[in-house]
Amino acid sequence: MPVRGSIQIDDMYCKGCELCVAACPQHGIALAMDVLTPRGYHPARLVTENCTGCQVCGIVCPEAAITVFRQAKVLARGG
Ligand code: SF4
Ligand code: SF4
């Protein structure tokens, strides 16, 4: 069943290294150039609705700044 995912990025830990940007198979992450974290970095943000919750970004992040959420997608309901 197709799944839909989402991520949350903790700006306290993100250091803008872009490893997650390069790793996301959906090309769904970008740095927010208009935001600065408390540590002075541009943080990563989810910029697509195509996130599948594959967890690749969470695995590659060296700061463990990404939490991945995943849920089954309801495509249609029978009647
Ligand atoms: S969970 Fe997968 S699809 Fe979603 S943002 Fe992370 S790498 Fe991309
Ligand atoms: S891999 Fe982690 S630290 Fe690097 S930009 Fe992505 S969320 Fe930030």
Residue with the bigger pLDDT between 75 and 32: it is: 32
Domains in the chain: boundaries: 3-72
* Closest residue by CA, ligand 1 atom 1: 53
One of 3.30.70.20, 3.30.230.10, 2.60.120.620, 2.60.40.420 is the CATH number of 3-72, namely 3.30.70.20
Query: Residue 33 Cα, ligand 1 centroid: separation in angstroms?
Result: 20
> pLDDT of 1-37, one tens digit each?
567 999 999 999 999 999 999 999 999 999 999 999 9
* Closest residue by CA, ligand 1 atom 2: 54
Residue 73, pLDDT above cutoff 80: no
Q: What pTM was estimated for this model as a whole?
A: 0.89
CA distances 14 to 10, 70, 73, Å, are 6, 21, 29
* Closest residue by CA, ligand 1 atom 7: 24
**Cα–Cα distance, 27 to 36 (Å, whole number):** 22
For residues 47-51, average pLDDT: 94
